[in-house]
Each structure stands twice: as C-alpha cells, then as structure tokens.
Amino acid sequence: MARLAGKVAILTGGAGGIGAATAELFAEEGAKVALVDIDATALAEVAARIRAVVPGAEILEIARDVGQEASAATIVAETLSAFGRLDILVNNAGIRSYEPLDEAKAETWQKILSVNLLSYAYLAREALPALRQAGKGAIVNISSTHAFNPRGGMGQYDVAKAGIISMTKTLAFEEADRGVRVNAVCPGLTLTPFHVRRFAPQGKSEQDLRTEKVDHNIQRRWADPREVAWPILWLASDEASFMTASVIMADGGTRV
C-alpha cells in the first residue's frame, strides 16, 4: 500500500525545487495534495507535470501569498472543501535577501519574516483543528542547515530559519497530547531552479552544477530536490509515528 494512501496534504512553496519534488513524491505515495505558491503560472506547470507522471494524481492548485496572514485560513478552507480532511502540513515557502545586518531594512525584515517564519505559524494555527481531528496529524517544517551554521550577508534568512527550529519544538510539545507530530528538515546545498538561475550568468549549466565537486559538504556535491523530499515523506508518514520535536539534517554532511 502507498505510504500516504488516503491522506491529504497542504504543501507551500510548491512551484519549484524541494516543494515540487515533495508534491510529486507525495502523489506517488497516494496523497491528495493542495499545492500552494504565489506564482500561479509556475504552480500550474508543476501541477500539470505531476498529473502527467503520476496517473490519478489529485492536485489542488492554490495561488496565494502565504506572507499574508489571511491566506492561511483560506488555504485550509479550500483544502477541506476540496478533499474533506487534512492530515499533513508541509511548510516549505521561503524567500531570500542578501543584506548584511548593518544594512538590513525594516521592510526586508518584515517580508522575510512574514513568508519564512510567520506563514509557518499561521498555517499551523489554522490547520491544527483538522490535523487533530485526523488522529495522526503531522507537520513538517522546512528549515535550513544555516539555522545552525549562519553566515554573513544573509542574516535575516538565517534568523528566520533558526526560528523555525524553535517553533517546531515548541509546537511539538504543545500538540503531543492531541495526536499531532511536528518535525523539521534542514536541507543543505540543494540544486533548485533558484540556484540554476543564479549560476547561469557565470556560464554554469544545470548539468555543470550536477557534476561539479563542491566543498560545502563531505559528499562534495549538490542534492537533487527529491533527495530532500524523501525525509519529508518519511516524517509525514505513519512510519515516523515515534518522531516529534525532531530535526533531520538532509545536507550531505555539511562542513561547519
């Protein structure tokens, strides 16, 4: 039997990279997926691709800005209306800013925190009643290795990712008696479309990045997004029934 058969999942940041790979894997494993992203065009492309490669996949496209608090209730309501239940929430949405902290603007802080941290809190809050009712609800929050290994120049992003870890553990403690597990995954260097675009001006193709040796981790390579989707799947499934308040490093052995 498929590992997520009969389950319904909300997955944010679903229009590319780790989110798209996770949605496809969830669909392969039998889940109905509410796929959320602000980019409606990219979202439609991902949903169409999943339907093409996974026969019978049930994907609900929800184009919303998760940085707006009101979006959380709408996303949950649309999912329940379409699928009748909710078992899994994967908070994956994220944006970046390249500002050293001594230059960080208030508006940048607000944007980063609203998407990368507060959207996780708001969606969890709105999803919890349905997750509790499901009986074996699971939340998986996507953080980053940089929650533990911050670097210069991306302080706002790294601070938000560290906040996700704290929020994950706190929520796990609060929800343990209500049957909802809450865990986090910290991806390392992952070859998402964002990075492919970022390196294109340097003359590096996606294939170049896939084959190059890097010093970031002891495996000396980039992860494919699907390699990060696998631990997300496991934490979301009943196989991880004794896992809560845990953090999995999917990072190839990141060097400190």
2 within some domain: no
256 within some domain: no
pLDDT recorded at residue 83: 98
Is the pLDDT at 1 greater than 70? The verdict is no
Provide CB contacts within 8 A for 103, sequence distance 6+: none
1 within some domain: no
Quickly count: other Cβ atoms within 10 Å of residue 82's Cβ.
Answer: 13
Among residues 122, 144, 157, 237, the one annotated as catalytic is 157
Q: What is the CATH number for 80?
A: 3.40.50.720
Is the pLDDT at 208 greater than 90? The verdict is no
Can you tell me the distance from the alpha carbon of 172 to that of 164, in angstroms, rounded to the nearest whole number? 12
The residue range of the domain holding 111 is 8-250
- Residue of 252, 187, 157, 161 whose CA lies nearest to 214: 252
232 within some domain: yes
Can you tell me the distance from the alpha carbon of 189 to that of 200, in angstroms, rounded to the nearest whole number? 17
- Which backbone phi and psi does 187 adopt, to 5 degrees? -70, 150
Is the pLDDT at 196 greater than 90? The verdict is no
Q: What are the pLDDT digits (tens) for 141-190? A: 999 999 999 999 999 999 999 999 999 999 999 999 999 999 999 999 98
- Average pLDDT score over residue span 27-55: 97
161 part of the active site: yes
Place of tokens 């999995």: 248
- Residue 49 C-alpha from the chain's centroid: 19
15 within some domain: yes
Quickly count: other Cβ atoms within 10 Å of residue 152's Cβ.
Answer: 8
Can you tell me the distance from the alpha carbon of 51 to that of 35, in angstroms, rounded to the nearest whole number? 12
Average pLDDT of the residues of the chain: 95
- Band of residue 222 on the pLDDT scale cut at 50, 70, 90: confident
- Residue of 126, 124, 130, 23 whose CA lies nearest to 85: 130
pLDDT recorded at residue 88: 98
Per DSSP, helices labelled H in the chain are 17-28, 40-53, 69-83, 106-113, 119-134, 155-175, 193-199, 206-211, 225-236
66 within some domain: yes
255 within some domain: no
- Residue of 177, 163, 180 whose CA lies nearest to 244: 180
- Average pLDDT score over residue span 53-58: 97
Residue 201, both tokens:
């001006």
157 part of the active site: yes
Among residues 114, 119, 143, 237, the one annotated as catalytic is 143
Number of domains in the chain: 1
3 within some domain: no
Q: What are the pLDDT digits (tens) for 120-148? A: 999 999 999 999 999 999 999 999 999 99
